[in-house]
Amino acid sequence: MLNYEVDPLILRAFVPKGTELDFWNDRCFVSLVGFRFLETRILGFAVPLHRDFEEVNLRFYVRRIVGSEIRRGVVFIKEIVPRRALAWVANAVYNEKYVALSMRSDDRLVTESRSVAYCWRYGGTWCRLAATVDGESRLPGEFSEQSFITEHYWGYTRQRDGSTLEYQVEHPRWNVWNAKHSELTGDVAALYGTDLGAHLAGSASSCFVADGSEVLVRRGMLL
């Protein structure tokens, strides 16, 4: 999870109806996140050749107030997967922002190098998101930046008619390693646009690696 502080005005056009930007210590973030889906099931069914695959997404953070409850969620700007069928279904049915690109990953967290990397090919060149860690993973503090980034348990997607799809995401709190070294290479501006690309080309606010877990995504409802 490579995290960048950005000008909130850049994200205004992406904020779904009924939500507002969520801040940590008055700071607004986008995160570039790489991970692997493992043993994936949709509505309880496994789709052959589509169970285990990489994803890299660019996301930011919003909240929705429902009575006395604050629902903290994420909005995806773009999601990269290696299979066209995955991208087509997500875009056609849920109006997500998936693209299908050649991808690869390299997980060496249990080896001496203690590193993990996700790569995708765009415009004829490879982009790379990578981190190296040391020490042991730990549960982050309740009000820390790590908790803010990892503990948004709702998702929001703008639909074609302007409405918003809200869905709940369930998983336990994750342990994290702070990265001692992080890397983002490649022409990210070509994929994410000039404004966001300029922030991604700068210095990250933080980088850490989460241990992950089983994740349950509930069916969504339109707001």
Amino acid identity for residue 194 in this structure:
T
| pLDDT of 155 higher than 70 | yes
| pLDDT of 146 higher than 90 | yes
Percent of the chain with pLDDT over 90: 59
Distance of alpha carbon 3 from alpha carbon 176, whole angstroms: 14
pTM of the model: 0.89
Question: 125 pairs with which residues across the strands?
Answer: 122
Percent of the chain with pLDDT over 70: 92
pLDDT in tens, 57-100: 999 999 999 999 999 999 999 999 987 777 777 677 667 788 89
- CATH assignment, 2-222: 2.40.400.10
| pLDDT of 49 higher than 60 | no
